[in-house]
Amino acid sequence: MTFDTYIIILEIRAEYMAKQMTELEKYYNKFNEDKRLLSRHGQVEYITSMKYIHEVLAEYDEPKIIDIGAGTGRYSVALAKEGYDVTAVELVRYNLGILKQKGSSVKAYQGNAMNLKRFDDESFDVTLLFGPMYHLFSFEDKVKALSEAKRVTKTGGTVMVAYCMNEYCVLMYAFKEGKLKECMDGGRLTEDFHSVSSEKDLYDYVRIEDIDSLNEAAGLSRIKIISPDGPTDYMRPIINAMDEDTFNEYIRYHLSVCERKDLIGAGAHTLDILRKNRI
């Protein structure tokens, strides 16, 4: 391959990626993440994630936090209001604008999870990577994001990574919404029912073994992995209709089982809690 050909390929890829970013921006210009997490069913994911974030933060004196893919700041703004030193990175300008309008102490920047060159190595005690892995489609790009999160995290620090899960996608979209034949005929499901997503689908879905492979490639070790929402997304109408006492009991139930290995892969999301160990 000549140098000129290589440059042309890079330019084509850059143009293609820019187009996809535009589609992602269009999506998030309409999607209200704050509203989702403030809904009754969304509160389950938020309450659970915050519980584990606080457990992690308790391990450090005056921890510095980076929230990569911060969205509109649901987590980063809340943590800053608690007095933590929080930096946020968000790809979508619309989301970033909403985050900045909230008037918090969060230091917010536009940036890409796969390239955090603004930040030095070993800058943060706790790194949140809660959105980017939903929208990266190749193994290599996911490893880049995970490796960048690792790079900016101090040795001994914690990286918390969220994923969308495969079985939720198959059950809700292929079966519940009656899209099974369309997915199978279109090559969007393998014979063993693993989702095959592309950029036009906006979301990518994984299984636990996929997450394990990413951790191995990035050189991160697991502390624990949890399901922040469990069966909640399957039960949205029921959850949303619960009275306050019943909902509180549901939260208590969920927190008692969200680390169970037999349940983790079946929820809509997982939260992987990882350690950056000394080499």
pLDDT at position 6 is: 47
pLDDT at position 15 is: 56
Closest-CA residue to 125 (of 80, 69, 70, 64): 64
CA–CA gap between residue 18 and residue 258 (Å, rounded): 38
Closest-CA residue to 129 (of 96, 163, 106): 163
pTM: 0.86
pLDDT at position 41 is: 87
pLDDT at position 202 is: 87
pLDDT at position 237 is: 93
**From the first residue on, what is the mean pLDDT of each consecutive set of 10 residues in the chain (279 residues)?**
53 54 57 64 95 98 97 96 98 95 96 97 98 95 98 98 96 94 93 91 94 98 97 94 96 98 95 91
Query: Hey, what are 277's tokens?
Result: 């160990």
pLDDT at position 25 is: 59
- Give me the CATH code for the 31-165+206-275 domain, please: 3.40.50.150
CA–CA gap between residue 158 and residue 127 (Å, rounded): 6
Give the amino acid at 72: T
